[in-house]
Amino acid sequence: MEGVPNNLAGSINDAVIRRLADPQSYQRGLDYYSHGHVESLEDRDESVRAVVRGNQDYSVTLAADEGVLDYSCDCPVGSDGTFCKHCVAAALAWLKRAAAPARSSGRGEAKAVTLADAEKILKAEDKDTLVRMVLGWAKDDDRLHERLILHAARRSGPDTGAAAVRRAFEKAVRISDFVHYRGATGWARGVDDAINSVEQLLNDGHAAAVIELCESALQSLLGAIQAVDDSDGHFGMLRDRLQDLHYQACQEARPDPVELARRLFQWELHSDFDVFYGAVARYAKILGAKGMKVYQELAEAEWEKVPREPPGTRGPNGASTSASRRLWSHWHGRRAKSNNWSR
């Protein structure tokens, strides 16, 4: 198995492939593999990438996650998280290669071309040739097309870049039907890729645009997660990435502390899934005395709205109606003792 990522060795076998694929997909994938539709099988750091020829060329990625096979394919069926015929063909090709004995490179034997070889060749090409090549590839590769558009938009200024990144995120997070467990990882991977574009925008120096983008993205994420089987906790990872980028952008852009305090308070008060939970402590230095004063005033005004009910009072559904009051009591008491509050 020389040259094959060892972490895949315990994750792929024929039984696993048959279990992940339905009988029809397995048979069609076997036909694809047998008829040479797997055009390339490339080792990467922690995964294997294959190109499988169907109605068009599709990209399959196989990796191991704690001994469990992780997979993706950019075909319409695979994009929903299904172990499609292209995944079957790629996995069978990997098994065949892994089982083949290592061959010594004899005289006259063709050498396999690697990415390092490709890098040397590309560096020798002139700029115009490279541009034509990349644009030509992008016509047949939706992911490459999207990346080129985002790159060009980011270079066109913060407004154009932010608008393009926003569209890319909305496209990635959009759900047409309920995403079941098997499709959740693929969906989350696409959203995570879109967040990479937000991070790139921040690295380009457009912190102010990133603040608004992150808040908009979190709102969209909250709307979508209701239609996803998130048993593996993908939302928490995506939420935390966006919140971290938001915090970094606020550190750089230093937005109006009063407006920021109002938005953070509303997020923490009304949003589900702990979005911006504990923001007053994390953003204290960014908010400063002025922002913290506004946060305190908002908290105290909300505190006055909480009903004064006897402990243990139960509502019609059996839930404690004084739960919110206990929560606010804890929060208000903790904040009141903090030196961060303005006196």
Give residue-wise pLDDT tens across range 292-321. Answer: 999 999 988 888 887 766 555 555 544 444
Instruction: Quote the tokens at residue 161.
Output: 């870049």
Kindly list the domain boundaries of the chain, sorted by start residue: 6-99
Give residue-wise pLDDT tens across range 282-297. Answer: 999 999 999 999 999 9
Positions of the chain with pLDDT lower than 70, given as ranges: 1-6, 55, 101-113, 308-343
Q: What is the Cα–Cα distance from 290 to 337, expressed in whole angstroms?
A: 18
Q: Phi and psi for 49 in degrees, rounded to 5?
A: -115, 135
Provide the 8-state DSSP code for 68.
Answer: E
Q: Of the candidates 158, 268, 256, which has an alpha carbon nearest to the alpha carbon of residue 213?
A: 158
Give residue-wise pLDDT tens across range 100-153. Answer: 765 545 555 556 667 778 888 999 999 999 999 999 998 988 878 888 998 888
Radius of gyration over every alpha carbon of the chain, rounded to an integer in angstroms = 26
Residue 171 CB neighbour total at 10 angstroms: 11
* Model pLDDT, residue 5: 52
Alpha helices in 23-101 (DSSP H): 23-34, 85-99
Instruction: Quote the tokens at residue 85.
Output: 């015929």
Q: What is the Cα–Cα distance from 81 to 184, expressed in whole angstroms?
A: 7
